[in-house]
Chain A
Amino acid sequence: MSDSTNTETLSPEQVGPQPQTPLQEFWSYFSANTGAVIGLVFIVTMIIVALSANWLAPHSPIEQYRDALLMPPAWVEGGSWTYVLGTDDVGRDILSRLMHGARLSLFIGCLVVTLSLGMGILLGLVAGYFQGAVDTAIMRAVDIMLAMPSLLLAIAIVAILGPSLINASMAIAIVSLPHYVRLTRASTIAELSKDYVVSSRVAGASHLRLMFITILPNCLAPLIVQATLGFSNAILDMAALGFLGLGAQPPTPEWGSMLADALQFVQRAWWVVTFPGLVILLTVLAFNLMGDGLRDALDPKLKQ
C-alpha cells in the first residue's frame, strides 16, 4: 500500500522494500482510516487540555463572578471575551469548567477502564483456563449482569452506596465487567489448544506463567479495542449519572452535572446547555471512531 512512497525514499544500496515492523504495519492500517485519525487527534488534544487545565483555563472552575450571571458567549450580542463560552447561572466561566471537566472525565475513563479491564482479564483467564465448575460459576454471574441494563444496575449500585464520583466510577466499572470477561475467556479458550501453549506446558511452565505470560499477550487485541469503547461508555454513563445527580456533587465541574444544573435555564440561556453536551458527544464520538480504527488495524480478519 505504501509502495509509491517507498520508491522515492529508497536509497541505492537497498535492494528491496524492508519488511514492516508490527508497529509500522499497525500504523499503516490505522492511518488508512481517516475517522480513526481524527478521533486520535481529538483525544490527544483533549488529554493535553486536561493535563494543563490549570494553566490553560482563563478562570477558576468554581469561582462565581456575581456581576456576570448567565453571560452569553463572546460572539453573541452582550457577550464578552473575558468569558469566551459565557457563564452559568451563578457566574462561573463555562470554558474553564469544561476544561477542568475534561480532566475529570478522562480520569474517570482511565479509572473505570483499568478497574474493569483488570478484573475482567483475571476472571476471564481463570474461567477460560480452568474451565469446569469455575467457568460455569463465573459465566453464569456474567450472564446475570448482562440481563440488566448497565445504566440501571449502575444507578442501583450508586443509590445504595450513596451518590459520589468514586461510587459512580465503581458502579460503572462493575457493570462494564461482563464484556471483558467474555472476550478474555473466548480468546483464552481459543489459544489454549494451540501448539505453543501445549509445548510450554510440556516444558513445565506453571499455571500462572501459562496464563499471564504465555496466553494473555495473545488475547490482547480484542481487549484493546473493547477498552477504547469502554472509555466512551464510561464517559457517557458517568455523564448520565451526573445528570441524574448520582455522580459528581456540586461544585465539581463534571460535564453531566453541568447539564443538570443548567436544566432550568434552557429557555433563557442556550449556551449553558449546548456546550457541555457537545463536548460529551465529541469525546464519545472520538473514542468510538478510534475504537473502529483500532479494530481494523488489530484484527485484519474483520476487514472487508
Chain B
Amino acid sequence: MFQFIFKKLMLVVPTFIGITLLTFTLIRLIPGDPIEVMAGERGVSPERHAQLRAELGLDQPLLIQYKDYVVNIFHGDLGKSLITKTPVMEEFASLFPATVELATCAALFAVLVGLPAGIIAAVKRGSIFDHSVMTFSLTGYSMPIFWWALLLMLVFSVNLGWTPVSGRLDVTYWIDEVTGFMLIDTLLSGEEGAFASALHHLVLPSIVLGTIPMAVIARMTRSSMLEVLSEDYIRTARSKGMAPLRVIVVHALRNALIPVITVIGLQVGILLSGAILTETIFAWPGIGKWLIESIARRDYPVVQGGIMMVATIIIVVNLIVDILYGVVNPRIRHNK
C-alpha cells in the first residue's frame, strides 16, 4: 500500500515541475516588452522601467529567474498584484472559500441527482425513464453553461422572482467573515434570515455548475451498472431469491461505483474551470471571476499565480482520487 502511494506521489513531481515551467513561460510569451505591456497606454518612464525590471527580476538570466520563481513558490510567494499591490497568495486565500463553497454544492447536486438517475435508468433499462435520463444527460453534456445560467436566471430570478440574480448574500445583511464559507458564517452570526438568504443565492449557481458533472455521472453510473448487472454473480444472487433491492444496492452498486468514483474525482477540473464562467455570470466573488477580471486588467502576476494554484489543486485532488481508487479496488493497487 505504501509503495503504491509512494509511486503515485513520485509521478506528481514531474507534473508539478511541468506546471511551474508552463506558468513561468506563459508570462514570458507576452509579445513585446512585458513592462510596457503591463503599464498599458499610460506608458512608463525609463527610470521606472529599469526599477520595475529589477523588481520583477527580469534583468537576471532566465535560469536564475526560474530558480527564483520556484523557490518563491515553495515559500508561498506568488508575487504581488500590479493593481491592488496585495500578495497574490493573500487574495487567493480570501477568495478561495467562495469557490469551494460553490463547487461543493455543485458537486453535491451532481452526485445526488446523477447517481440515482443513472442507477434507476440501468435497472429499468429501455423504459421511458431510461430514455429520458439518457436524453437529459446528453443535453446536459452538450450544454453551454453560460447560456444555461442566463436561461435559469431569466426564468427563476427575473420572471418568477424566486432567487436573487447575483452575489452571495443580500446587502441588508452584514456578516463577519469567520470561515469564508457563507453558509457557515451566516449560521454562526445567528442573524435571522441570513442563512436562508445565503442558501437562496447558492441554488442557481450550483445547479448551473453541477449540470455537466451531473450528466457525466449519470451516464457513467448507468453504463457501469448495466455492465455489473449482467454478471453471473448477480444472476446467482437473484436466483437465490434475494430481494431485488438488496441485489441492486448491496451486490451490484458496490462494484458499479468503482469507475464512478474516478469520474467524480475527474469532475474537479471541470468544476473549477466551469466556475470561471458561472462566477462571472452570477457575480460570485470567487477565484474564477478574479482570474477573468485580472486578465482584463492585464494583472499578469495574478493570472500566473492563480493558474498555478488552480492547477496545483487539481493535481492534488487527482492524486487523492488515484489513491482512493487503489484503496477501493485492490486490483489496481497490485497491478504494476
Contacts and interface: CB of A to CB of B under 8 A. Distances in A.
Contact of A284 (B27, B30, B144, B295): B144
Most buried by B among A156, A162, A239, A276: A156
Given A155-B295, A240-B146, A273-B147, A147 B311 contact: yes
B154 A270 contact: yes
Interface string A151-195: 111011101111000000000000000000000000000000000
A281 B138 CA distance: 11
Interface string B119-142: 000000000000000000011011
A19 to B, nearest CB: 31
20 contacts: A140-B18, A143-B15, A147-B18, A147-B269, A147-B311, A151-B273, A157-B26, A160-B30, A239-B146, A240-B277, A244-B292, A246-B295, A259-B150, A267-B158, A273-B150, A273-B151, A277-B147, A280-B144, A285-B142, A304-B226
B327 interface: no
A243 interface: yes
Interface of B is mostly: helix
Nearest to A232: B142
A277 B145 CA distance: 9
A35 B137 CA distance: 14
Contacts of A256: 144, 146
B150 A240 contact: no
Contacts of B307: 148, 152-153, 156
Interface of A: 35, 140-141, 143-144, 147-153, 155-157, 159-162, 232, 236, 239-240, 243-246, 256, 259, 263, 266-267, 270, 273-274, 276-278, 280-281, 284-285, 288-289, 304
Contacts of A35: 138
Nearest to B153: A266
B276 A281 contact: no
Given A149-B272, A243-B277, A273-B151, 9 more contacts: A35-B138, A143-B14, A147-B15, A156-B303, A240-B146, A274-B151, A277-B151, A285-B142, A288-B138
Contacts of A147: 15, 18-19, 269, 311, 314-315, 318
Contact of A144 (B19, B272, B277): B19
A256 B311 CA distance: 26
Contacts of B303: 156, 159
A288 B314 CA distance: 26
Contact of B280 (A236, A244, A259): A244
A138 B19 CA distance: 15
Contacts of A239: 144, 146
Contacts of B226: 304
Contacts, number: 124
B270 interface: yes
Given A160-B27, A161-B31, A284-B142, A144 B276 contact: no
Contacts of A236: 142, 144
B26 A266 contact: no
Contact of B311 (A148, A276, A304): A148
B310 A281 contact: no
Contacts of A157: 26
Nearest to A245: B296
A148 B280 CA distance: 20
A244 B144 contact: no
Nearest to B312: A147
A236 B143 CA distance: 8
Contacts of A289: 138
A143 B8 CA distance: 13
Contacts of A274: 151
B291 interface: yes
A240 B204 CA distance: 19
Contacts of A284: 142-144
Contacts of B142: 232, 236, 281, 284-285, 288
Contacts of A259: 146-147, 150
Most buried by B among A140, A236, A245, A277: A277
Contact of B150 (A162, A263, A281): A263
B153 A281 contact: no
B295 to A, nearest CB: 4
A160 B141 contact: no
Nearest to B17: A144
Contacts of A280: 144, 147
B22 interface: yes
